[in-house]
Amino acid sequence: MLSPQYEILTSMSDSETSACEVAPPATGDMSPEEFRRFGHEIVDWIANYFEHIEELPVLAQIQPGDLKAQLPSSPPEHGESMETILADIDKLIVPALTHWSHPSFFAYFATSTSAPGIFGELLSAAFDVKSMLWRTSPASTELEEVTLDWLRQMLGLDAGFSGFIYDTASVSSMHAIAAAREGVEMRIREEGMSGRKDLPLLRVYASEQAHSSIEKGIITLGLGQRSLRKIPTDSQFRMDPQALAEAIDEDKRNGMLPFCVVATVGTTSTSSIDPVPDIVPICEKHTMWLHVDAAYAGSAAVVPELRHVLAGCERADSLVLNPHKWLFTPFDLSVLYCRHLALLHRAFSLVPEYLRTPEQEKVRSGSDYGVQLGRRFRALKLWMIIRYFGHEGLAARIREHCRLAKLFADWVEQSEDWELMAPVPFALVCFRACPAIEAKTEAERDKKLDALNEALMHGVNATGKAFLSHTRLNDQLTLRLSIGNIRTTERHVREVWELLEEQLRLLS
Ligand code: PLP
């Protein structure tokens, strides 16, 4: 059963839809008149969507297969009118959406798009450039360099870092590890890794709290999962540098080749910060590449008083951060800052005759720095976002999110029925309900609390009024409240707290 709430949007757009339906032309694209008409209608629709989004359930209230069952199993033989297609967006697609733009989306890392970002996406779809060589996309190539240099300055990073845009942090980190591997000078680009007796086991180190994308990158690069050594963390979920140093020493004694450490600033489960300043000297001692995964929390450094979260990164070799996480940029846009672009170039540049250009020695061409040939014009939206909000405006929004998270954390701490499960350095609160519960053993109590917290989370999510996710910390089910949406205000945070209290009363 689809949610009846789609009617909110259906009724909105019905009033605006004109009666005359136009079939698509036999050849060529939509006429400029029609494009203008539907373009205006769609922008109106989006404005209504944002105005009414709180009336929609945050988490899609449908069952697996519900949408598929309503879609034809074969494509239309003849083109359909835009009216028919747009009506189906209201009727079929919206109810099957989990609304990431809803201000009460608190799950995973809450993120959001923004108006200038949407306009940037729209224009970039119209330009449709393939940013592979400078000449195929001078605007994209040069705007990317300038915009990422602006962002670098806003983050307080030094000019030794050059930025590059990829789609996601998973891909950015994979490229960073590939550049690090290129730096070991073992002719892996030319000869590969398989069947080679002269190659020791190459090792990458990351904490046991590191994001799974690091392991996936290692798998993708053919290093194999055994190349990753997971380093234990302390009571606050931060990499233990002593354990890292010992692991590297041990691996070296065993004939392995440690070549890369991945430190995380803002881990996924708790947003903990690995002690980068203590990790740097270990990497320098062993001439290892230090990659910093700041996919989530790197953006916080645009707030002057939070710049310290990137302490030590001035001595890192590369750093990833995701404007699509916490800089109000529509998905996708991930930035890799790297000090050794020449190594990235060496790992990935391959220029066949048909891509040679007279200016290639003088310019930066995107396809030389990664797996992709054509790349989207992503810099446009980030440039528009930075210009529209300004450094100060971006900082104000992130600062407010951190304030709201601290406020929520205070309520948790002040209540006897709830407890914090991790420190709150940014805008993510890890917590759980811990009311007095009858249990014969500690293990039984833990089990009952896990079940209670899981039921609480599902109870809140089923209301459609807010969306929370979870993790496990110290083997205890932990709820996560992440604040990162541009529309989230104190009212939304109060409402989810009241919802949680209400669910707890119902379940106790
Ligand atoms: N690194 C960290 C710390 C993350 O939290 C995430 C996702 O949440 C990622 C990497 C992967 O991000 P992406 O979806 O951009 O690949």
Largest CA distance in the chain: 78
Give the position of tokens 């929390």: 297
Residue 154 DSSP label: H
Distance of CA 19 to the CA centre of its chain: 41
Which of these, 186, 124, 164, 77, lies nearest to 370 by C-alpha position? 164
Give the position of tokens 């930066």: 364
397 Cβ contact partners less than 8 Å away, ≥ 6 residues apart: 328, 389, 486
Question: Could you tell me the pTM of the whole model?
Answer: 0.95
What's the number of CA atoms in the CB half-sphere (13 Å) around residue 311?
Answer: 9
Ligand 1 pocket: which of 173, 268, 426 to mutate (most atoms <8 Å of CB)? 268
Report, as ranges of residue numbers, the positions in the chain whose pLDDT lies below 70.
Answer: 1-20
| Structure confidence at residue 124 (pLDDT) | 98
322 Cα to the center of ligand 1, angstroms: 8
136 Cα to the center of ligand 1, angstroms: 30
Residue closest via CA to ligand 1's atom 4 equals 268
433 Cβ contact partners less than 8 Å away, ≥ 6 residues apart: 417, 418, 449, 452, 453, 456, 479, 500, 504
Measured CA to CA, the distance from residue 259 to residue 251 in angstroms comes to 11
Helix, strand, or coil (residue 257): strand
| Structure confidence at residue 7 (pLDDT) | 54
* 267 CA: nearest ligand 1 atom: 3
Ligand 1 pocket: which of 165, 166, 170 to mutate (most atoms <8 Å of CB)? 170
| Residues whose beta carbon lies within 6 Å of some atom of ligand 1 | 109, 168-170, 211, 213, 264, 266-268, 293, 295-296, 322, 334
326 Cα to the center of ligand 1, angstroms: 12
- What backbone phi and psi angles, to 5 degrees, belong to 45? -60, -45
Q: What beta strand segments (E) does 40-182 contain?
A: 162-166
Which of these, 401, 457, 370, lies nearest to 170 by C-alpha position? 370
Residue closest via CA to ligand 1's atom 9 equals 169
DSSP string over 472-500: EETTEEEEEEE---TT--HHHHHHHHHHH
181 Cα to the center of ligand 1, angstroms: 21
The single-letter code of the amino acid at 101 is S
Which of these, 252, 254, 230, 257, lies nearest to 243 by C-alpha position? 230
DSSP string over 400-418: HHHHHHHHHHHHHHH-TTE
| Structure confidence at residue 178 (pLDDT) | 98
| Structure confidence at residue 9 (pLDDT) | 53
Residue range 230-279, pLDDT digits in tens: 999 999 999 999 999 999 999 999 999 999 999 999 999 999 999 999 99
Measured CA to CA, the distance from residue 223 to residue 203 in angstroms comes to 9
354 Cβ contact partners less than 8 Å away, ≥ 6 residues apart: none
Handedness of CA 190, 191, 194, 197 (dihedral sign): negative
Can you list the alpha helix ranges (DSSP code H) found in 156-275?
A: 169-182, 188-191, 212-220, 241-253
7 Cα to the center of ligand 1, angstroms: 35
| Structure confidence at residue 459 (pLDDT) | 97
